[in-house]
Each structure stands twice: as C-alpha cells, then as structure tokens.
C-alpha cells in the first residue's frame, strides 16, 4: 500500500466511449502525475500538477484531458481513444517543496484496453 | 533531451548471487535519481532515492550509488532471493519537471 489509489484497475472501452480514470493520494503531497506505460517502451510522462496547477503537459493528444480539483485527487478523462492508447496508466504523487526534489510514490495503475 | 539507459535488459541468476544493475544518463544536471521495482501488471514501488548531492543510499540488501559526473548509477543487490524477481527501473529528475525513466532490467532469480 503506497498511499496512492487508482480506480478502476481495469477498463475496456470502445473508440467512441467517454470514460475517466481516478487517482487519490492520502500522503499529503502537493504534486501529482500521470504516466503511460506501453509494452516494451519506457514510462512516458503525460501530465504534472503542482498545487492543483498544471505545470507540465508533455505533448499529449487532446483526447486525454486531465483534471486536478484538489491536491488529493487527479482524473484523466478519456474520449475518442485509439487502439494504440491501450496501456497501463500510472498515477504518482510527490511531496511539495518543489517538483523534482521529492520521492515519487506510484499507484497500482489502471490497465486500459481500447477496442 | 535526457536519455536513460539500463543494462542489461534482462538478467537471470541463481539464488544467493550478488548482482549489479546499471543505469546511465546523458544529462548530468539532475535533481535526484530514483530506483523502482515493478512486479508484472503492477505499479512501481520506490526502492531508493538519491539526491544529486549524495553518493549512495542503502536499504537492507540494496545499495544504490550515484556518480553524477559520469552519468551513472548502480543498484547492488546482495544475496539475491526468488522474491527479488521483478523489473527494476531507474529514473532521473531534471530541471523542467521532467522525470525520465530507463527501459528497465527484468530480473529472474532462480531457486
């Protein structure tokens, strides 16, 4: 138990569906992240939020839309996805005091399959 | 652009061996380096975090070293056990809020 909880753990959706991934951290951290892990590729940073402000958007297609309503919750809204978007989506959090200076804690991930 | 390389990509050893996993990075201007473990289909578990001003960190049978000037880190696992079987990932944090991951080393420890 890392203190970072992701739901759902598994999601299957069609290309025309709209769904959301949820991440919640119970660590009192101020920064939260979305990563994508595809087969045989290194983890790719998608979004970074620090104190609920987006500080990084790593050239992610607009069919992925993040939302950070408060420092404990992070969402990834999905719409009109492609089969190549099938991957493990990992959420992480880190303490405040400047993004990049603290240890990252990851959730268990949400396994997404796009049909 | 930071690039992180992990060698070897896969490693199989008998139980009890001491082993070394390697991580190299191209841009030495890092804030910190973190080693993770990932079991199949699961998230990442943090093993060790080394700040840029540090040379090494130890936790139990694990020891991680950092040589920033040469762009290298090693993870040493002493007396390996079958339960150590997993993928080990290193990641470096640069300015611009970028955490870059290596491709990982898939470790199998045979009983």
Is residue B41 scored above 70 in pLDDT? yes
Is residue B3 scored above 60 in pLDDT? yes
* Average pLDDT over every residue of B63-88: 96
> How high is the mean pLDDT of chain A?
89
Rounded distance between C-alpha atoms, residue A82 and residue A49, angstroms: 25
Contacts of residue A108 in chain B, CB cutoff 8 Å? 42-43
Give yes or no for B102 touching A (CB within 8 A).
Answer: yes
Mutate which of A104, A108, A113 to disrupt the B interface (most B C-beta within 10 Å)?
A: A104
Rounded distance between C-alpha atoms, residue B32 and residue B30, angstroms: 6
Rounded distance between C-alpha atoms, residue A29 and residue A51, angstroms: 9
Cis peptide before B49 (omega within 30 of 0): no
pLDDT confidence tier of residue B4, bands split at 50, 70 and 90: very high
Beta bridge partners of A72: none
Q: Cα–chain-centroid distance for residue B24? A: 10
pLDDT digits (tens, 9 = 90+) for A16-28: 889 999 999 999 9
CA closest to B102 among chain A residues: A42
Q: Pick B77 or B28 by higher pLDDT.
A: B77
């Amino acid at each position: 138990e890392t203190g970072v909880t992701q739901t759902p753990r598994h999601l299957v959706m069609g290309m025309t569906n709209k769904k959301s991934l949820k991440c919640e951290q119970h660590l009192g951290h101020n920064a939260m992240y979305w990563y994508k892990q595809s087969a045989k590729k290194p983890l790719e940073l998608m979004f970074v939020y620090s104190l609920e402000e987006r500080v990084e958007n790593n050239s992610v297609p607009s069919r992925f839309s993040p939302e950070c309503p408060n420092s404990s919750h992070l969402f990834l809204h999905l719409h009109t996805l492609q089969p190549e978007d099938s991957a493990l989506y990992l959420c992480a959090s880190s303490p405040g005091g400047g993004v990049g200076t603290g240890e990252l804690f990851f959730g268990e991930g949400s396994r997404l399959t796009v049909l | 652009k930071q690039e992180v390389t992990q060698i070897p990509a896969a490693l199989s050893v008998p139980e009890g061996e001491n082993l070394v996993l390697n991580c190299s990075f191209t841009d030495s201007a890092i804030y910190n380096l973190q080693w993770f473990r990932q079991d199949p289909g699961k998230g990442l578990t943090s093993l060790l975090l080394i700040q840029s001003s540090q040379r090494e960190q130890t936790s139990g049978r694990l020891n991680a070293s950092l040589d920033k000037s040469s762009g290298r880190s090693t993870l040493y696992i002493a007396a390996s056990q079958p339960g150590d079987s997993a993928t080990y990932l290193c990641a470096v944090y640069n300015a611009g809020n970028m955490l870059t991951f290596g491709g990982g080393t898939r470790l199998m420890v045979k009983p």
